[in-house]
Amino acid sequence: MEKKLIVTYGEDVQKMTKEVLEKAELEKMIPKGARIGIKPNLVVAKPASSGATTSPAIISALIEYLQEYGNSDILILESSWIGDHTRRAFKVCGYEEISRKYGIPLFDIKSDTYSVKSYGGISMEISNKVLAMDFLINVPVLKGHCQTMITGALKNLKGCISDREKRRFHTMGLHRPIAYLNKILTSNFILVDSLCGDLDFEEGGNPVKMNRIFCGTDPVLIDAYIAATMGYSPEDIGHIKIAADIGVGDLDIDKAEIVVINKDTTKVHPVFPTKVKRLARYTEAKEACSACYANLIHALARLDEKGLLQRFKNTPIKIGQGYKNLRCDGPGVGNCVSGAEHVVKGCPPSTKAIRAFLEEYVKGRQGK
Ligand code: SF4
């Protein structure tokens, strides 16, 4: 498995998706005549703008790419969470239209038969249709999760098991069975929708615009990158750590090659959902790029969990191109705010760097 991630930023989803796929040379990985399964995240019947589900624009571009390279045996497979109907999610999320346009069938895993597979003493019922695929393309959404903290490539495979098994996974605390499931079922390629994922809930409602798409072949590395992007240490996320320990992949993103095709230049949208709005009160943004601002919001969410936000009540954090060449008080985020009293450099700075900087600032130890 290659320790490499291909990342791009922007708003032209079609172009961005094809760029990362070309750069990753996905076509060379697919065996000739392979049955290709595409597994999006359609956990609920809500549009991608809610922060819960995989953008249909990414899936469309992926299918076009696959078809341009002569792949014709393609299937989209999913099982929404218990309590929602996958068929309804296909419709609401725009997948019926994709199916019609590209002639790609949609398959509801809830209606499948299952085979029992085991790893490490845990057995689980896995969709026979998924098992019959020659090449599985996992297309998760980068977002938070109220129990597992983050959800990405590893957890997205939970949609490949029976509803009965999903219930049982919860009784086992999710982390271990999710990691073991990924030992049984291989994601041959992972394309991550990091355009607009929820801050901390799987079912959406607090979307954070990030304008990012990235891909790779190692689901552990992908999820480690997601965790870091959201301000967590990958080692602290149970299923990522267990998956690394049992050899599903490598969580050391510091040793990975991260190729960035395009930086983000789009400006942040001024309207936020409630929770993000609450965190945004501690910021003063002027023409901030979306990816930069998203990193700050994720860092603030981590500080909020530790009760550290009050320090910024009267000294909001400055961010954005509107601060270029200006001197200003208090903390600043990004190269544009290098005239701030205290600043974390980067374009954009990572969530990890912002979090560390703000924690130091709260402790009063932050120098310029
Ligand atoms: S540092 Fe400035 S230019 Fe760079 S990403 Fe942040 S806001 Fe945009």
Distance 288 CA to ligand 1 centre (A): 6
Whether residue 352 sits in one domain with residue 242: no
Ligand 1 atom nearest 335 alpha carbon: 1
Please count the structural domains in the chain: 2
The DSSP secondary-structure symbol of 289 reads B
HSE-up (13 A, CA, CB side) for residue 44: 14
Distance 273 CA to ligand 1 centre (A): 22
Identify the pLDDT of residue 368.
41
Distance 219 CA to ligand 1 centre (A): 29
Identify the pLDDT of residue 365.
58
Atom 2, ligand 1: residue with shortest CA distance: 336
Task: Write out the residue range of the structural domain in which residue 137 sits.
Answer: 4-260
Distance 345 CA to ligand 1 centre (A): 10
Give pLDDT tens digits along the chain (368 positions): 789 999 999 999 999 999 999 999 999 999 999 999 999 999 999 999 999 999 999 999 999 999 999 999 999 999 998 878 999 999 999 999 999 999 999 999 999 999 999 999 999 999 999 999 999 999 999 998 878 889 999 999 999 999 999 989 988 989 999 999 999 999 999 999 999 988 878 888 888 889 999 999 999 999 999 999 999 999 999 999 999 999 999 999 999 999 999 987 777 765 666 788 889 999 999 888 877 888 999 999 999 999 999 989 889 999 999 999 999 999 999 999 999 999 999 998 999 999 999 999 998 855 44
pLDDT digit string, tens, across residues 19-51: 999 999 999 999 999 999 999 999 999 999 999
Domain C-terminal end among 222, 237, 260: 260
Identify the pLDDT of residue 299.
95
Ligand 1 atom nearest 263 alpha carbon: 5
Identify the pLDDT of residue 84.
86
How many angstroms separate the CA atoms of 92 and 97, rounded?
10
Identify the pLDDT of residue 145.
85
Identify the pLDDT of residue 367.
45
The sign of the dihedral angle between the CA atoms of 316, 11, 37, 97 is: positive
SS3 category, 241? helix
Domain C-terminal end among 206, 238, 260: 260
Asked whether the beta carbons of 298 and 208 are under 8 A apart, the reply is yes
Whether residue 254 sits in one domain with residue 219: yes
Whether residue 123 sits in one domain with residue 256: yes
- 265 domain-assigned: no
Whether residue 143 sits in one domain with residue 256: yes
Identify the pLDDT of residue 2.
81
- 267 domain-assigned: no
Whether residue 126 sits in one domain with residue 32: yes
Whether residue 214 sits in one domain with residue 153: yes
Whether residue 217 sits in one domain with residue 99: yes
- 266 domain-assigned: no
